[in-house]
Amino acid sequence: MGVENEILKAGDGENFPKQGDELTMHYTGTLADGGKEFDSSVSRGKPFKFVIGIGQVIRGWDEGVMKMSLGEKAMLKITSDYGYGERGAPGAIPPNADLNFEVELLAIGSKTAPGFNSSTSCIIL
């Protein structure tokens, strides 16, 4: 149980997030069973900003994203206990659903991945 990272595109291999860092990411979330998309910053055209390692996101993200380096694109395969668990997310994610997130680490604080323009991001408070 937990989170498995499958690297789709290597990052710089040098800059990794630490607890308390503000990250900027693109993601697309799908249900592992059937592949139905439930959320995507890519579809909205606005990257997602959050602070890693403090519970602002699901446990699978807190643990899986910390293994990524700047610029990396990965598939996070997250079991339900590291996702939304028994409660699910009404209207989007059923109870006990395993999830897949295609994620791309665009920025760690002010350090940005090559080709990323940070002026187009969305901040979640």
Which residues are identified as catalytic? 27, 38-39, 58, 84, 101
Tokens of 100: 């897949």
Backbone phi, then psi, for 26, in 5-degree steps?
A: -105, 145
- From the list 1, 17, 121, the residue with the least C-alpha distance to 60 is 1
**71 CB burial (10 A radius; 0-12, 13-18, 19+):** buried
Q: Which residues of 17-53 are buried (b: 16+ CB within 10 A; e: fewer)?
A: beeebebbbbbbbbbeeeeeeebbbeeeeebbbbbbb
Answer yes or no: are the C-beta atoms of 101 and 93 closer than 8 Å. no
